[in-house]
Chains A and B, each alone.
Chain A
Amino acid sequence: MNARNTTGVPAEGMRRRRFLTTAALGGATIVGASALGGLDADAAFAAEPSLDPAIAKSSFVEGRITGITGSVLEVAGSGGGHARVQMTHVTSVWKVRPATAEVIEVGDGLYARGVPMPDGTVAADAVWVNIVNLDTTIRGIARNRVHLAHGQHEVVGNILTDTGASYAGRGLTSDLSRLRIGQSAQVLGAWRPSDDSVDVVRISVGH
């Protein structure tokens, strides 16, 4: 059995993956589909409170990270407030793709879901770093980037190896060759503070 991934994983991680693979393939098989909201990057923008009992108690934190003290993130809300987000060992971190807490930097934008603690912190289940969801128009297409117009702003979108596209509401595909200049495009991605560009995770056209 060979488990593989794009990123380098240490031997300890590989052993754990092999064990978890065995567990996963030995699990119950469930067939069928139903429409239900998700917890992936899209869920960061789900405004409706979930009916899921696990999520009903959740609260959201949004803003810029002003400091990192141990496993606590200091967050200045864009509305002026201040919040403290406690990272735990099961907090999932998203920064362009699933990541670990080490990738979080001071100055990053943050969107977190978690449970309020008695000491005023929010223990995070999931943290999305620099996530953006932009309504844009495609103004140019090159080999490793797309030029986007967002309102009156020109935005450069970096195409990654795993950037996905969705055409007319259909499922995600890695085929980006059907993008056209002039199309309206919804871009889900991660803002890069260093050069103010956006790493495109998913681009939806004809939605």
Chain B
Amino acid sequence: MLSLTTGLLPLLLAGLLGWTGAAKALGPDVVVTAPKTALARLLSSSERAARVLRATGWAELLLAGALLAAPGSALPGAATALLGAGFLGYLGYGRARAPQATCGCSASEDTPVTWRAFARAALVLAGGLTAAVARRTWWGALGDRPAASAALLAVGALVLAALSADLDRRLLLPLRRLLLRVFGHPLTGRGGAPRVPVAASVELLEHSLAWHTTSPVVRSALLDHWESDGWRILHYSGVHGEGDTARPVAVLFALDATAGRDTPGDPVIRVSYVDADTGAPVAAEELRAAPARRSLRLVE
């Protein structure tokens, strides 16, 4: 199994380098991506970064070709390991100096460098070293045990794909869309009957005349809420009065627990101030003086 793995490594490495190399050397995205890479920061020029990316791409393509053509010799493997080490150093620099910058490794990704890029570069380094000392050709390994080789190649390709952030957008998104289509929307019918969230009651309250009337008194955000006989009670704290007559009050609103901002008709909201110390109602007349305003009727 071990000899099979070392035999097939050049094939996997060539696949990876061929893909990332082609994307960098021939892909149209390089010019767009270059300014976002840590390389642009290192070279302090987007044009230079784009040129270096192109050159790296050609080098990778060359290496991929060499790995395929001369798997028995040590040179392509050693060069691949060197490339992997160079990538690791570059990623480390990028992570330290420009954490938001992208790696530019496959030219089309625009996500910051994560552990996956490091793992991929480390695999290139280790794979290169192994390929350098291996004396077995990939076509020999493939010919000896074709079924096992195919399985191993598939696993290797999956691992490399999982370590490539730019495949997320291409694979993960369609996969998630497909799952929704097949299994239905996972958030449908959550928790039985549709309920009006407390935040909806607060939203309704804060668009109401009741709120307008009491807002000079209210001093807190929502402190507590509960439901009672179809009413939703919202509890705020406040200060009523000025100077010597100022005293802390509990501001209580009672409104229909099933009403939201989209519920037709005018919301009915009950308001009262309760003295925080004595529990006696405060300024009931003041609140009753607020006009009972209704929304304008539409002309038909």
| Residues on A facing B (Cβ under 8 Å) | 1-5, 9, 17, 19-21, 23-41, 43, 52-54, 90-92, 94, 97-98, 125-126, 128, 139-143, 147, 152-154, 159, 161-164, 170-177, 179, 181, 201-202
Most buried by B among A4, A32, A97: A32
Across-interface contacts of B202 in A (CB, < 8 A): 38, 40
Which chain A positions have C-beta within 8 A of B268?
A: 29-31
User: Beyond the given A20-B233, A23-B272, A30-B269, could you list 10 further A-B residue pairs with CB under 8 A, ordered by the A residue number?
Assistant: A26-B270, A27-B254, A27-B270, A30-B210, A32-B293, A32-B294, A33-B295, A143-B186, A174-B190, A179-B187
CB–CB B266/A32 < 8 A: yes
Set B211, B236, B274: member contacting A92, Cβ < 8 A: B236
Interface residues of B in 266-290 (CB under 8 A from A): 266-272, 274, 276, 279, 281, 284, 287-288, 290
A-B contact pairs, 8 of them (CB 8 A): A27-B281, A29-B270, A29-B271, A30-B270, A34-B293, A98-B221, A98-B224, A171-B262
Interchain CB contact under 8 A, A40 and B221: yes
Q: Is the CB of A23 within 8 A of B274?
A: yes
Say whether A25 contacts B270, CB under 8 Å: yes
The prevalent SS among residues of B at the interface is mixed
The residue of chain A having its C-beta at the shortest distance from the C-beta of B235 within the complex is A20
B-side residues, CB < 8 A to A, are 100, 102, 110-112, 172-173, 176-177, 180, 185-191, 194-200, 202-204, 206-213, 215-229, 231, 233, 235-237, 239, 248, 250, 252-254, 260-263, 266-272, 274, 276, 279, 281, 284, 287-288, 290, 292-295
Q: Contacts A27-B252, A32-B208 given: A141-B199 contact, CB under 8 Å?
A: no
Q: Are A126's CB and B220's CB within 8 A?
A: yes
Which A residues are in CB contact (< 8 Å) with B102? 152
Report whether B266 and A139 are in contact in the complex, using a CB–CB cutoff of 8 Å.
Answer: no
Q: Bound complex: CA of A180 vs CA of B235, how far in Å?
A: 35
Residues of A within 8 A of B204 (CB): 171
Task: Check if B271 sits within 8 Å of A34, measured CB to CB.
Answer: no
Q: Which residue of B lies closest to A177 (CB)?
A: B188
Instruction: Output the least CB separation between A45 and chain B (Å).
Output: 13
* B100, B173, B211, B294: the one within 8 Å of A36 (CB): B211
Closest CB in chain A relative to B190 CB, distance in Å: 6
Closest to B201 in A: A172
CB-defined contacts of A92 to chain B, threshold 8 Å: 220-223, 236-237
- The 8 Å CB contact of A152, one of B110, B229, B253, is B110
Interface residue from A4, A26, A53, A126 paired with B221 (Cβ < 8 Å)? A126
**Which residues of B have CB within 8 Å of A25?**
228, 231, 254, 270
Known: A26-B281, A28-B270, A52-B215. A5 touches B225 (CB 8 A): yes
A177→B237 contact, CB < 8 A: no
Task: Name the contact of A27 in the complex, choosing from B207, B266, B284 (C-beta under 8 A).
Answer: B284
Q: Give the docked Cα–Cα distance between A141 and B178 (Å).
A: 11
Q: How far is the CB of B169 from chain A (nearest CB, A)?
A: 9
Select B220's contact among A125, A164, A202, beta carbons within 8 Å.
A125
Q: Which residues of A contact B220 (CB under 8 A)?
A: 39, 90-92, 125-126
Which residues of the other chain, A, contact B229 by a CB distance below 8 angstroms? Answer: 1-2
* B286–chain A nearest beta-carbon distance, Å: 9
User: Are B197 and A54 within 8 A (Cβ)?
Assistant: no
CA distance A91 to B219 in the complex (A): 8
Contact across chains for A28 and B287 when beta carbons are under 8 A apart:
yes
Please state if A152 and B228 are interface contacts (CB–CB under 8 Å): no
B206 touching A38, Cβ below 8 Å: yes
The residue from A35, A36, A90, A152 contacting B237, defined by CB atoms under 8 A apart: A90
The interface residues of chain A lying within 8 Å CB-to-CB of B293 are: 31-32, 34
Q: CB distance A29 to B269 under 8 Å? A: yes
Whether A26 and B272, one on each chain, are in contact in the complex, defined by CB atoms closer than 8 angstroms, is yes
Determine how close the nearest CB of chain B comes to the CB of A130; give it in whole angstroms: 15
Interface contact B197-A30, CB-CB below 8 Å: no
Please state if B267 and A33 are interface contacts (CB–CB under 8 Å): yes
